[in-house]
Amino acid sequence: MLEFQPPFIIVKSRRGLGLLDKLGSYSLTNRLGWLFTILMPIIAILGLYIVIRSVNLIISNALAREFIRSVTPLANLLIPGLNPYLPIVYGWIALIVGLVVHEGAHGVLARSLKFPVKSVGLLFFLVVPIGAFVEVDDKEIRAARARDSGRVLAAGPGSNMVVALASLLILLMMLGSASPVVDGIGVSTVVEGYPAYTAGIRPGDVLISVNYVNITKMADAYNVFSNLKPGDVVTLGFVRLSAGVVVGSYSAEVSVAANPYNSSRGYLGLGGVALREALDNYRNAWSFNPFIYLVWPTFSTSNQELIPFSDLMIRFYKSPLGPILPVLANVFFWIWFVNFNLSIFNALPIYPLDGGQTFRALLQGALRNVASEAFVKRLTLGVTFIVLGLVLSMLFFPYLLFQ
């Protein structure tokens, strides 16, 4: 059946119901249902933590507000083509995977627990596929026991989180095969008009020595460059790369200029990243700052320097995967990122999202003999408005708080 609701086209069918029945018949499906139920409150708490932390940062930090204003409100939309930092191809792949996983998990758990599923289908924006859906009988879900309806509702956010974590693990395993083409400081920026630029140094070169002493760590480079004074002369050794291959090496004798912000200090007009440190820090970020994995590889130069597979950094690395490494890395990063955000958002206690419906079902079960259905509904809506207010404040506070 075809429905047209401008600008969306909805294609409904019952042909996929047999697949849902088959997947729902496996004993593993029932176990996954309980796993998703356990994950649901954990994901919701994590989501609330991220929202509250973000709001607090926006209120207390003027630089954070300025940065958010600079990226525009469109950066909050997970819609490729509207979000300026979400790549079209990778973004659509990730979004379609996330929606298919989310809706498919609802349908499989519903059939596993014998809930009716009316249809499955695809959703198109004009002629562009943007997702899939499973039409579960909502009345049956609301009337069911909380333990059963809860498993169906938790399946969407839970499956998204499982896919997200699996994608992140695959990404880190792929990066485990990568290594710097040359161990040194990758040049990320060269300021035009300053000594490094005049000497012919260009982004993509690798600094390997200063005054004939090997340099591989940022601490070593900082110890040298922080002590330079205007007029000093240093000899810099570089390797030049092209398409991930060494194509030459050169030395440059550079006379240090005055720092534009502090004339008593030296300045070369050169920015860079320790390549091995950057790779190791990203691969091991799960142990000291996992939020690094939520940094987009499409933001500014300073953000891209953290991410080995960004357009800025990938030229410095090699892998047995060859030129397909950045493609696969971006595919799995965006699947991780989009599924993580879909999971977090849908698990929040905002009605009628999965988290809001689950919250209402839990209240009905816990207060069945204590409070009326009308009270449960009012309490659910109250919590919804509070959480929704926090989410919306993330969007509007940067533009309301100017100081």
State the pLDDT at residue 126: 64
Q: The pTM is what?
A: 0.88
State the pLDDT at residue 361: 83
State the pLDDT at residue 119: 79
Q: Is the pLDDT higher at 179 or at 372?
A: 179
The Cα–Cα gap between 159 and 173 comes to 21
For 99-115, the pLDDT digits (tens) are 889 989 999 999 999 88
For 257-278, the pLDDT digits (tens) are 998 888 889 999 999 999 999 9
State the pLDDT at residue 127: 63
- Residue 184 reports pLDDT greater than 90: yes
For 147-168, the pLDDT digits (tens) are 888 899 999 999 999 999 999 9
Domain ranges for the chain, please list them.
Answer: 2-175+331-400, 185-278
* Banded model confidence at residue 135, pLDDT cuts 50, 70, 90: confident
For 25-36, the pLDDT digits (tens) are 998 998 999 999
- Residue 131 reports pLDDT greater than 70: no
Residue 209 to residues 8, 185, 213, 316, 367, Cα–Cα distance (Å) = 58, 9, 5, 17, 70
Query: Which residues make beta-bridge pairs with 133?
Result: 121
Q: Which CATH superfamily is domain 185-278 in?
A: PDZ domain (2.30.42.10)
Average pLDDT score, the chain: 88
Whose tokens are 């609802």? That residue is 106
Query: Which residues make beta-bridge pairs with 207?
Result: 185, 238
State the pLDDT at residue 94: 93
Number of helices (H), then strands (E), belonging to the chain: the values are 13, 14
Average pLDDT, stretch 226-242? 92
- Residue 53 reports pLDDT greater than 80: yes
For 299-334, the pLDDT digits (tens) are 888 889 999 999 999 999 999 999 999 999 999 999
The Cα–Cα gap between 246 and 305 comes to 21
The Cα–Cα gap between 170 and 208 comes to 31
* Banded model confidence at residue 397, pLDDT cuts 50, 70, 90: confident
Average pLDDT, stretch 346-363? 88
